[in-house]
């Protein structure tokens, strides 16, 4: 009766989900039972027609398909209890890393055995101990044996057997681990660009050169070395901003460019279109106005453009009044920074004239009001002149009115010539650290001076100019109104004398192109143009007040500009209009006198200095810069010959 029931249960067991190893066992058991039951059922079926399958109430209901579905079982040797997410801290990466291979061994039972091999060390030791004990306790042995025997006879049954056990206290296990201090870490990053490598090589080169120099120069004084070391130390120690000078300069120029942006644009690009409709006339466009507040009260006494850097010019400041206090300045401005001068030199007395060397544009010669001449070197940062003439070395006894650099002499020493109010024309040579002077000529006394005083009262020279091609010829103008033409090689007499003006001649200049023409202007309101072969002037212009300066334009042989006491600039072009100025423009406010004018050698601008210490730059309009017109079909010949020809044409028309 229980048989069919068993059959049913067995079958149900087969169908349920049981764990793998257990399932196998059950299956095996089930199979055995099945076989047994099969035989039983075979017998049982004879007398029990109906049999019902009894299912346990919680058995899964599966469809036929699901019952027939084959389920594969995989046996693995993994320990299901082993952890799968063990992590360890790795110092190399600085983070926790998971460990993939975990010990899969599951220990079910562990028993330490107490059998020791008799040949091993421990075995031998124990046997030796036992032998000792046997020898030692011979008497006790009998008792022991008897007791052992007795004990052996004692049977262990569940009523009579006592076993006592004790366990030592298991100390709670503790994990103590130690960790070394990790090595100190720092983040380092750098780039290795092509230019960084290049920089490094350049520095390496410099270092090697320095070490070479040091080796060569070890003969130098120790003192010099010490001073050098001090300087080097100071440079490396200072955390301050002396090295910022270059950047600060650039920034200042940029800021100025922004402020005077319109002016800069005008300077570069503005061409007055109205000139086409103005006929011959031209205009002057005011550009920058340069001033230095510490130069207040001083007048501009000299202007000179730098031949190499076309935006740099020198301004000499002093005073024409003899009663005013003696002080002077030499300033260098650049058009790129119109707010502050680039170089500032303070002089002990007023500067009267300035000249910059043609080739070495860092050498500047100045003539001072007290008769000294000085040479400054712009490359050196000092405030003092490199050379200075003193009373002993033949300085002038009157204010030096003009200085001009000459070509280097035969010993390749630099030299320059000065003319002063004491009537002497002197040549100065720069020899090592001194100025050596040579008198060239003395200006002849005027007729008005009585004979016996002729040696005492000097005729003051006011202006000096050297011929562009034959540079031994020069012109010197005097306060008396005469112009003398002389030569450096003749020290006793002048080659020629021209009665130029009734009053002081303020300026005399050779024409930059034509070899025979020069211009002069004086306080007698006149501007005169001369041919050196003719005693009387070719052109004479009368401007309404005394003319303080006149200058030829560097780009044309027939254009010149003159400035007068009333603040006007007059620009003439003889090839266009022989009688009138093309432009007469007032450029300063009332009561300011214009004192000096210079054309820029390259750009079409002029600078004008006034008696307030200001320098104003003006741009010449196109009408004032006209070149000779091209004839149709013919190419315009360029070069100084054209200019000479132009002048020659003019002159011949007058003769």
Partner 1 sequence: MAEVEDTLKRIQGYNGVIGSIVVNAEGIPIRTTLDNSTTVQYVGLLHQLTMKARSTIRDIDPQNDLTFLRIRSKKHEIMVAPDKEFLMIVIQSPTE
How many CB atoms are closer than 10 A to CB 224? 10
Shortest Cβ 248–partner 1 spacing (Å): 4
Within residues 194-233, the interface with partner 1 by CB under 8 A covers 194-195, 197-199
245 contacts partner 1 (rule: CB under 8 A): yes
Options 38, 99, 142, 254; binder of partner 1; rule CB under 8 A: 254
Distance CA 588, CA 281 (A): 20
249 contacts partner 1 (rule: CB under 8 A): yes
256 contacts partner 1 (rule: CB under 8 A): yes
Helix 245-259 and helix 261-269, axial crossing angle in degrees, nearest 10: 80
Options 82, 247, 391, 654; binder of partner 1; rule CB under 8 A: 247
How many CB atoms are closer than 10 A to CB 247? 10
Task: Find the part of the chain contacting partner 1 (CB under 8 A) among 82-90, 150-158, 188-196, 204-212.
Answer: 188-196
Measured in whole angstroms, the distance separating CA 445 from the mean position of its chain's CA atoms is 60
Q: What is the DSSP letter of 364?
A: E
Shortest Cβ 202–partner 1 spacing (Å): 9
Shortest Cβ 254–partner 1 spacing (Å): 5
Within residues 331-350, the interface with partner 1 by CB under 8 A covers 339-340
Options 28, 38, 148, 251; binder of partner 1; rule CB under 8 A: 251
| DSSP codes joined into one string, 465-508 | EE-SSSTTEEEEEETTSEEEEEETT--S--SEEEE--SS-EEEE
CB-facing half-sphere around the CA of 469: CA atoms within 13 A = 8
Q: How far is CA 228 from CA 205, 242, 565, in A?
A: 20, 18, 54
391 contacts partner 1 (rule: CB under 8 A): no
Options 70, 135, 239, 293; binder of partner 1; rule CB under 8 A: 239
Q: Which H or E run contains 68?
A: helix 64-68
Shortest Cβ 338–partner 1 spacing (Å): 11
Number of residues in contact with partner 1 under rule CB under 8 A: 29
Options 28, 99, 248, 274; binder of partner 1; rule CB under 8 A: 248
Options 86, 127, 220, 250; binder of partner 1; rule CB under 8 A: 250
CB 319 within 8 A of CB 611: no
Task: Find the part of the chain contacting partner 1 (CB under 8 A) among 207-215, 257-265, 328-336, 558-566.
Answer: 257-265
Measured in whole angstroms, the distance separating CA 349 from the mean position of its chain's CA atoms is 39
CB nearer to partner 1: pick between 194 and 412: 194
Shortest Cβ 268–partner 1 spacing (Å): 18
How many CB atoms are closer than 10 A to CB 331? 27
Options 20, 62, 244, 636; binder of partner 1; rule CB under 8 A: 244
CB nearer to partner 1: pick between 264 and 561: 264
Task: Find the part of the chain contacting partner 1 (CB under 8 A) among 241-249, 265-273, 279-287, 644-652.
Answer: 241-249
How far is it between the farthest Cα atoms of the chain? 184
Options 246, 433, 448, 591; binder of partner 1; rule CB under 8 A: 246
CB nearer to partner 1: pick between 243 and 390: 243
242 contacts partner 1 (rule: CB under 8 A): yes
CB nearer to partner 1: pick between 122 and 203: 203
Options 2, 171, 189, 193; binder of partner 1; rule CB under 8 A: 193
Q: Where are the beta strands (DSSP E) in 384-542?
A: 387-388, 400-405, 415-420, 424-431, 434-442, 461-466, 473-478, 482-487, 496-499, 505-510, 517-522, 526-531, 539-542
Closest CA to 588 of 569, 560, 562: 569
Distance CA 126, CA 133 (A): 11
Residue ranges binding partner 1 (CB under 8 A): 191, 193-195, 197-199, 239-252, 254-256, 258-259, 261, 339-340
């Amino acid at each position: 009766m229980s048989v069919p029931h068993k059959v049913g249960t067995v079958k149900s067991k087969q169908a349920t989900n049981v764990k793998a190893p257990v399932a196998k066992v059950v299956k095996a058991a089930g199979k055995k039972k099945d076989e047994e039951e099969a035989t039983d059922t075979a017998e049982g079926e004879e007398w029990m027609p109906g049999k019902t399958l009894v299912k346990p109430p919680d058995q899964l209901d599966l469809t036929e398909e699901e019952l027939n579905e084959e389920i594969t079982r995989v046996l693995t040797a993994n320990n299901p209890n082993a952890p799968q997410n063990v992590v360890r801290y790795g110092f190399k990466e600085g983070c926790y890393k998971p460990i993939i291979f975990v010990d899969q061994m599951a220990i079910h039972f562990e028993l330490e055995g107490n059998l020791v091999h008799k040949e091993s060390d421990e075995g031998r030791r124990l046997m030796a101990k036992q032998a000792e004990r046997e020898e030692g306790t011979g008497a006790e042995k009998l008792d022991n044996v008897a007791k052992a025997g007795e004990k052996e006879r004692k049977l262990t049954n569940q009523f009579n057997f006592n076993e006592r056990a004790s366990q030592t206290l298991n100390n709670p296990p503790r994990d103590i681990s130690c960790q070394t201090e990790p090595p100190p870490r720092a983040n380092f990053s750098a780039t290795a660009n092509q230019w960084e490598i290049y920089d490094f090589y350049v520095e390496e080169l410099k270092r090697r050169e320095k070490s070479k120099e040091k080796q060569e120069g070890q003969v130098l004084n120790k003192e010099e070395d010490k001073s050098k070391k001090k300087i080097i130390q100071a440079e490396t120690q200072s955390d301050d901003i002396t090295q910022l000078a270059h950047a600060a300069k650039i920034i200042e120029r940029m800021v100025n460019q922004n402020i005077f942006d319109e002016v800069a644009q005008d300077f570069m690009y503005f061409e007055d279109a109205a000139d086409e409709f103005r006929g011959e006339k031209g205009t002057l466009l005011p550009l920058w106005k340069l001033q230095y507040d510490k130069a207040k009260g001083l007048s501009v006494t000299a202007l000179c453009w730098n031949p190499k850097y076309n935006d740099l010019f020198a301004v000499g400041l002093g005073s024409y009044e003899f009663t005013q206090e003696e002080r002077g300045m030499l300033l260098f401005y650049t058009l790129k920074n119109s707010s502050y001068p680039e170089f500032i030199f303070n002089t002990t007395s007023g500067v009267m004239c300035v000249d910059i060397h043609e080739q070495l544009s860092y050498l500047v010669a100045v003539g001072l009001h007290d008769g000294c001449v000085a040479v400054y070197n712009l490359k050196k940062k000092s405030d003092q002149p490199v050379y200075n003439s003193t009373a002993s070395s033949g300085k002038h006894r009157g204010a030096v009115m003009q200085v001009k650099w000459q070509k280097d002499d035969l010993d390749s020493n630099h030299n320059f010539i000065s003319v002063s109010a004491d009537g002497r024309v002197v040549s100065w040579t720069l020899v090592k650290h001194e100025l050596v002077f040579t008198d060239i000529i003395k200006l002849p006394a005027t007729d008005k001076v009585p004979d016996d005083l002729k040696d005492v009262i000097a005729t003051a020279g006011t202006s000096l100019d050297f011929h562009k091609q034959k540079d031994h010829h020069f012109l010197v103008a005097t306060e008396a109104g005469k112009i003398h033409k002389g030569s450096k090689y003749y020290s006793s007499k002048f080659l020629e004398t021209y009665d130029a003006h009734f009053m002081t001649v303020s300026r005399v200049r050779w024409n930059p192109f034509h070899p025979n023409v020069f211009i002069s202007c004086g306080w007698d309101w006149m501007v005169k143009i001369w041919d050196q072969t003719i005693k009387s002037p070719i052109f004479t212009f009368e401007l309404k007040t005394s003319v303080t300066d006149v200058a030829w334009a560097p780009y044309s042989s027939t254009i010149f500009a003159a400035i007068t006491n009333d603040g006007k600039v007059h620009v003439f072009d003889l090839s266009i209009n022989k009688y009138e100025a093309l432009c007469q423009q007032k450029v300063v406010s009332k009561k300011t006198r214009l004192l000096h004018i210079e054309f820029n050698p390259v750009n079409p601008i002029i600078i004008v200095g006034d008696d307030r210490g200001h320098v104003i730059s003006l741009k010449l309009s196109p009408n004032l810069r006209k070149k000779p017109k091209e004839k149709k079909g013919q190419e315009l010949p360029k070069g100084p010959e054209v200019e000479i020809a132009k002048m020659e044409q003019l002159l011949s028309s007058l003769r």
